[in-house]
């Protein structure tokens, strides 16, 4: 690929890069970084291995590009948490949004899980420089809500962890969920009222 310092990508470049990233998401999310090969990505993208390496200089660059893209969309629902909104509704809406993301973007969830599970070799810095400040800000909002008595007092960090764990579980452990539920179940449809009820019970202040 020619040097592209200033110009935008051409139509073909855009199309092929997108195809590669889409294919790589599927492949990486299933097998992790080391468990996936450029050949698999190339086949899933419908092109030859050298052509994949014509648009990305290495397997690593594909993976990192994917993670960067992912992170932005992954944290969007949390960013939307509005300090001016109704506390309980804001939180229940956040839970709902995260559950929808697990349902609609399971590959993204599993890619992220793989990365963290292996010690976040690529994301470690970003977790402390980008994620922690964001969480700290949201924790402050939660603390404020709790101080005002709008929601029941509980550990705000672990409240956020619980939301992540309970929603992403359905994407990350999909195989297990399906095996245990057996056929004829829609895990996400069942999880929505379950989680809604759980957080409503937990966060509503006693009369």
Q: Which of 6, 8, 50, 206 binds DNA (CB under 7 A)?
A: 50
Is 36 a binding residue for DNA by CB under 7 A? The answer is yes
Nearer to DNA, 118 or 144 (CB): 118
| Residue 11 binding: pick among its own copies, DNA, none (C-beta 5-8 Å cut-off by kind) | DNA
Segment near DNA (CB under 7 A); pick from 45-53, 140-148, 170-178, 181-189: 45-53
Q: Which two tokens stand for residue 180?
A: 């245990």
Q: How many residues does the chain have?
A: 207
Q: Which of 23, 25, 38, 160 binds DNA (CB under 7 A)?
A: 38
167 within 8 A of 95, measured Cβ to Cβ: yes
| Residue 150 binding: pick among DNA, its own copies, none (C-beta 5-8 Å cut-off by kind) | none
Minimum gap (Å) between residue 174 Cβ and its own copies: 8
Between residue 158 and residue 197, which ones bind DNA under the rule CB under 7 A?
none
C-alpha distances out from residue 106 to 88, 124, 171, 175, Å: 26, 22, 5, 12
C-alpha distances out from residue 177 to 10, 107, 112, 188, Å: 43, 16, 19, 10
Q: Which two tokens stand for residue 86?
A: 């109704």
Please compute, for residue 22, the number of CA atoms within 13 A of its CA located in the half-sphere on the CB side. 11
> What is the rounded CA–CA span in Å between residue 161 and residue 39?
36
> x-or-dash pattern for DNA, window 55-74, by CB under 7 A?
x-xxxx--------------
Binding site residues, DNA, CB under 7 A: 1-2, 10-13, 16, 36-39, 47-51, 53-55, 57-60
């Amino acid at each position: 690929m020619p040097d592209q310092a200033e110009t935008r990508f051409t139509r073909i470049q855009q199309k092929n890069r997108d195809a590669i990233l889409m294919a790589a998401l599927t492949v990486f999310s299933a097998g992790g970084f080391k468990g996936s090969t450029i050949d698999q990505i190339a086949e899933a993208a419908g092109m030859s291995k050298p052509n994949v390496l014509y648009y990305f200089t290495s397997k690593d660059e594909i993976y990192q590009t994917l993670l960067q893209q992912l992170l932005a969309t992954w944290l969007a629902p949390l960013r939307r948490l509005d300090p001016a909104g109704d506390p309980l509704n804001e939180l229940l809406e956040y839970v709902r949004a995260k559950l929808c993301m697990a349902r609609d973007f399971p590959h993204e969830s599993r890619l992220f899980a793989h990365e963290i599970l292996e010690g976040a070799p690529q994301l470690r810095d970003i977790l402390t420089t980008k994620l922690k400040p964001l969480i700290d800000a949201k924790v402050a909002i939660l603390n404020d809500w709790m101080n005002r008595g709008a929601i029941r007092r509980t550990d705000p960090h672990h409240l956020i962890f619980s939301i992540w764990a309970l929603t992403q579980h359905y994407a990350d452990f999909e195989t297990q969920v399906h095996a245990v539920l057996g056929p004829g179940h829609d895990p996400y449809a069942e999880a929505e009222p379950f989680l809604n009820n759980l957080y409503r019970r937990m966060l509503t202040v006693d009369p």
